[in-house]
Structure 1
Amino acid sequence: MATLTHHESATAEQLVVTDGARKTFIAIIVTGVVLLIIGILAQVMGWGAAEHSEAAGHAAAAHGAAHEEGSSVLVKRVLVSLWHSNLFFLGVSTVGTVFMAINYVAYAGWSVMVKRISEALSAWVIPGGVIMLIVFLVGRHDIFHWTHEGIMDKGSPNYDAIIAGKSGFLNLPFYLIRTIIYIGIWAYFSWKLRQLSLQEDLNGGTVWFHKSINASALFLVLYAVTSSMSAWDWVMSVDTHWFSTMFGWYVFASWWVSGIAAIALTAIFLKQAGYLRALNASHIHDLGKLMFGFSIFWTYVWFSQFMLIWYANLPEEAVYFNQRLGGFEGRYTFLFFFNIAINFVFPFLGLMTRDAKRQMIIMKIVAIAILCGHWSDFYLMLMPGTLRGDNGFLIEIGIAAIFLGAFLILFTRRLASASLVPVNHPFLDESIHHTT
C-alpha cells in the first residue's frame, strides 16, 4: 500500500487513494478477466475434460431431467460463480455494519479506531444486492432446482413431492420479496449509521452517539432474523431436499469471521501506509482475538452440524456430506479437508499465542488465509448442489478477482470520503489509550 499518501489535519486523518492504488485495483480486475477468458476457453476447448468426464457422466445420469431447463455447463458455471462471489462479498460487506452495531450497543471504546473501516465495508451492500437480484432473475434455473417449471405441479413430469411440500416458502414472488427486504434492511441501516457518524464528526455532542445505539439495537434484532433467512434462501435452498437447523448460524459464522479478517487486514495496511497513528498493538491484538475466537466458533458450528448428521446417518441428511466426501468421483474431497485446515487449523495454530496476535505480519497472513478459506467454504456450499461434477476453478477465481477489484474501488472511495478517525466520538480518547 505504498501507493497511499498521507496528510495530517488536527486529529483527523484523511485517506488519499492515489492513481497507483487505483491502477492496482484495476489490475486485479484485469487479471480476473484474463483468468475468466482462459477458463471459458478451457471449458469450450475441453482442456482437462478427460479427467472428469466419467464424473460428469455420473452427474448427468443422476441429475438427468432436473436440468432440462438449464443452460450449458459454461453458462451455468459463470452464473453460479457470480452468485457465489457476490454472496461472499455481500455478506462481508454487511458484517461491517454488524460489527459497528455490536460495538455501539456494547458501549465498546476500543474499536473506535477501526470504526471507519467497518463503515466503509458496507459500500458493497447496494451494488451486491442489485447484482444478486439480476443474477437470480437471469440464472435461477441454473442455481435453484426448485424454480423449474412444473416441479410443484402434480401431473407434471418434473413433479417433486418434497419440493412441492415447501411451495409455501419457496415460491418466486415470496422469495423475491424476502430478498428485497433483506437487502433493504441491511442497506438502510448501513446508510443510517454512516450518516449519524458523519453528523457526529461535523457537530460533536453525544446526541448522535445515542441515536446510533438505538438504530444499532433495532438493526441487530432484524439482522439476527434476516441473516439466517437469507442463508436458507440464498445457499441452503440450492440443495432443496436437504436442510439443517444450524445452517443459518453456519453461514453467519463464515461471513462474520471473514468480515473481522477484512477489518483487521485493512487496519494493518493503513497503519503500514502511515495512517491510523493512534492504532496500537492492543487494537491489533483484540482483532486477532476475534479472528481466533470466531474461527473456533465457525468450527464448532461446522462440527456440530457434521457430527450429528454423520452419527444419525439418515440418507436424506447424509446426502449433503456424501456429495462433498467422495461424491462425484471425489471432486470435492480435497476441498472438504482443505476447508477445515485453512479455516480452523491454520488460524488456531497461527494465532494461539498472545505475541502472534500483536504481530502485523502474522495477522496479515492469517487474515488473508481466512478470507480465501471462507470464499472456498461458500464454494463448497454451492458447487456440489449446482454444478455437480462439472465444477472448476479458473472461471470461479477469475470472477472472484473481478469482484475483489470492484469491491476495493468502492471500499477505498468510501474510506477516503471522511476522516479515518471519528474525531468527535465520545469514546475516542479511550480508544487512543487502549491497552491490553
Structure 2
Amino acid sequence: MDHVESVSRVSAAVPLPAAKWKILGRWLQGIGLFLLAASSLGIRWHPKEFIHSWLFSFFFFFSLCAGALFWVLLHYVTNAGWGVVVRRQAENVASLFPWVALLFLPILWDAFSGHQLYEWTNPALAHDPALRAKSAYLNLPFFAIRALFFFAFWIVAARFLWNGSRLQDSDGDPWRTVRLQKFSYGLLVVYGACMTFAAIDWLMALDFRWGSTLWGGYVFVGAAGASLALWILLILWLRAMGYLPEANEEHLHLMGKLLFAFTALWGYFAFSQYMLIWYGNIPEETYFFIRRNFGSWNWFAIGLVVGRFFVPFLLLLPQATKRNPKTLGLAAGWVLFMQAAELYWLILPGVFVNAVAVGLLEILIWAGMGCLLAGAFLLRLVSCELYPRRDPRLRESLEVIS
C-alpha cells in the first residue's frame, strides 16, 4: 500500500448505498421528465411566458455546471492541493453538461421558429437599423454554430477532467495530475471566451439594442459564486450523512473565504455596471435599468442588492461563520437562492412588464430541470470515488491548515 492510499484511510467513511441511490436517481429523472412534459402544455396557451421561464431555469442550472467547471480548472491552474478532497463533487456537477445541452434545444427551436424569446430572430425586424448594424454577429446560423461550439467545448473539457481524475483512482499515476494541469491553462482561456459570449448570446441578446461591456464578467461572477455555494452544500450534505468525513473544518473555512470573496466581487461588478451606465445617461443603455425599476420590479431590485450582496457579505465576514457548518450552509443556500432571484430579474421582465409574478409554468419548469439534473448527479456520484484517493497532493489536502 503506497503512502497516498494509506493517508486516504485516516477515517472510515460510510459506504455509499449505490443500488438505492441509482434507483433514486432514475426516479428523480423520471419525475423531472414528467414535469417538463407537463409544462410543455404551456406552449399552446402562453408561449412567451413558457420560453422565458425555460430560459430562466436553463440558465440557472447551466450557471451551476459552468461555474463548477471553472473551479475544477482553477484548481489545476493554481495547483491548489488543499481542494483535492472536495474537488470530485465539482467534477461531478461539471460532467452534467450533456444534459444541459439537451435542455438548450427548446431555446434553439424558438430562435428558428417561435421568435418569442429573442426579438432579433423575427424576420419582420430584418430591416431594423440597429439590428442591421449587428447582423454580422446576430444571425441565426452563427448563433447556432456558436452554441454548438460552446457545448462541444464544455462537454469535452468536463469529461476530459473527470476521466483523468477518475482513472487516477485506479492506476495512481501521478503524471495524470501533471497532464491535467498542463491542459487546464489553455482550457481556462477558451472557457473564459465561451462563457463571455454565451452570456451575450443568451441573456444580453434578449434586447439586441442594449449592451454592456461588463456583461460577461458580471454573469460569470454570479455563476461562479452560485456554483461554489452548491459545491459547499454538497460537501456539507455528504459530511452530514457520514460519507465524506475527510472534508474537515479547514476545507469549509477555505471554501467559505472563496464564497465571501466572490460575493464581494459580484458587488463590484454589479455596482460598476450600474454606475457607469447611469452616469453616462445614454438612453439606449439606461432603459435596461429603468425597465426594471418600474412597479414591484423596483422593490425586487432593491431586495436583490440587499440580498445578493449585503446579507451574505455580513454573514460570511466573521471567521467563525465560515467554520460553522450550519451558518456556512445557510449562507451558501442563500447565495444559491439569490442567484435564481437575480436571473429572474434579468429575464422575466420581458413577460411580466408591470409587476413581479411567479406562475405555475415557472415552478414546473424549474422543478422539472432540478429533478432531472439531481437524478443525473446521483448516478454520477455512485459511479466513482467520493474524492481522488490516489492524487499525489492528497496528503496536503488532508493536512491543510487555513
Q: Secondary structure at the match of 2:173?
A: coil
SS of residue paired to 1:15: coil
Q: Distance in 1 between matches of 2:45 and 2:211?
A: 26
Equivalent of 2:93, from 112, 118, 121? 121
Matched, 1:319 2:287: yes
The 3 A distance-change label for structure 1 pair 413 and 14 is farther
Q: Which residue of 2 aligns with 1:338?
A: 303
How far has the Cα of 1:364 moved from its partner? 1.2
Pick from 113, 118, 121 the counterpart of residue 147 of structure 1: 121
Task: Quote the Cα distance in structure 2 between the aligned partners of 1:404 and 1:383.
Answer: 19
Q: Which residue of 2 aligns with 1:378?
A: 343
- In structure 2, the CA distance between the partners of 1:409 and 1:17, relative to structure 1 (3 Å rule), is farther
Amino acid of the structure 2 residue aligned with 1:256? A
Q: Is the 8 A contact 2:312 2:335 kept in 1?
A: yes
Matched, 1:433 2:394: no
Superposition deviation, residue 422 in structure 1: 0.6
Q: Deviations over 1:268-296 (max 9, x none)?
A: 00000001121111100111111111011
Q: What TM-score, normalized to structure 1?
A: 0.83
1:244 equivalent in alignment to 2:212: yes
Q: Secondary structure at the match of 2:134?
A: coil
1:397 CA drift (Å): 2.8
Partner of 1:136: 108
Aligned-pair CA distance for 1:40? 8.4
Deviation at 1:338, TM superposition (A): 1.7
- The Cα shift of 1:150 comes to 3.0
User: CA 1:179–1:35 in 2, change beyond 3 Å: closer, same or farther?
Assistant: closer
CA deviations over 1:376-408 (Å, ceiling 9, x no partner): 111111122355348631321332122111111
**Would the aligned equivalents of 2:229 and 2:259 in 1 still touch at CA under 8 Å?**
yes
Q: Paired residue for 1:402?
A: 368
Contact 2:164-2:180 within 8 A present in 1 as well: yes
Q: 1:245 aligns to what SS in structure 2? A: coil
Distance 1:21 1:332, change over 3 A: farther
**C-alpha distance in 1 between matches for 2:13 and 2:188:** 29
**Change over 3 Å in CA distance of 1:29–1:249 after alignment to 2:** farther
TM-score between the two structures when normalised by the length of structure 2: 0.90
Q: Which runs of 4+ in 1 moved over 4 A?
A: 8-14, 17-41
Task: Name the residue aligned to 1:175.
Answer: 143
Q: For 2:64, what is the secondary structure of its paired residue?
A: helix
8 Å contact kept, 1:12–1:422? no
CA-CA distance at 1:339 after TM superposition: 1.3
SS of 2:95's equivalent in the other structure is helix
Q: CA deviation at 1:133?
A: 2.8
Cα RMSD between the aligned structures?
2.8
Q: Is the 8 A contact 1:28 1:404 kept in 2?
A: no
Q: Deviations over 1:182-237 (max 9, x none)?
A: 11101100000111111111111211111111221121010111110110001000
Structure 1 unaligned spans of 5+:
1-7, 42-70, 154-159
The answer to which structure, 1 or 2, has the higher relative contact order (CA under 8 A, 6+ apart) is 2
* Residue correspondences, number: 391
| Contact 1:227–1:248 under 8 Å retained in 2 | yes
Shift of 1:73: 6.7
Identity %: 28
Match of 1:357 in 2: 322
Verify the 8 A CA contact 2:96 2:373 in the aligned structure 1. yes
| Structure 2 CA distance for aligned equivalents of residues 324 and 30 of structure 1 | 34
Indicate yes or no: 2:230 matched with 1:262: yes
Superposition map of 1:26-41 within 5 A: none
Conservation of the 8 A alpha-carbon contact between 2:39 and 2:365: no
Confirm or deny that 1:277 pairs with 2:282.
no
Does 2:61 match 1:89? yes
